[in-house]
Amino acid sequence: MLVMTDFTRVANKNEFLGSPLKKVVIRGLEICIFKQDDNFHATSNICPHQGGPLDEGELQDTCIVCPWHGWMFDVRDGSCRLNPNIKIQTFETKIEGNDIYLKI
Ligand code: FES
């Protein structure tokens, strides 16, 4: 069973009406939240290649494309489409009503 105190409220679903991407900073971590269909996913916002800001990239289906050099990461598990040895950190999400929580 999930313990509520493990999760931090980070956003409201209505904040994604205009864009499927949103950057939040929680406990010093830059995190990007993605709305993909009716699901919400969260990863580190910093591209492991050269530090590009993923929240400024383009979401293509389940992949975020880094705006700097085009590396692609699956937002569901953080895996890199170009190099299977690279992964970005992901965070578990939970929805309660319109509120989005991250497990950090
Ligand atoms: S910094 Fe992201 S692909 Fe280069």
The Cβ-side half-sphere exposure at 100, using a 13 Å CA radius, reads 22
52 within 8 A of 39, measured Cβ to Cβ? no
Q: Which residue of 32, 43, 50 sits with most ligand 1 atoms within 8 Å of its CB, as the best mutation to test the pocket? A: 50
Q: What is the CATH number of the domain that holds 83?
A: 2.102.10.10
Pocket of ligand 1 (CB under 6 A): 47, 49-52, 66, 68-71
**Is 27 part of any domain?**
yes
Range of the domain at 57: 9-97
What's the domain count of the chain? 1
For 60-96, the pLDDT digits (tens) are: 999 999 999 999 999 999 999 999 999 999 999 999 9
- Give the containing element (helix H, strand E) for 29: strand 29-36
Collapse the DSSP code of 6 into the 3-class scheme (helix H, G, I; strand E, B; otherwise coil) and give the result.
helix
CB-based contacts of 16, cutoff 8 Å, min separation 6: 22, 33, 35, 40
Q: How far is the centre of ligand 1, averaged over its atoms, from the C-alpha of 29 (Å)?
A: 18
**Is 19 part of any domain?**
yes
For 18-66, the pLDDT digits (tens) are: 999 999 999 999 999 999 998 999 999 999 999 999 999 999 999 999 9
**Is 3 part of any domain?**
no
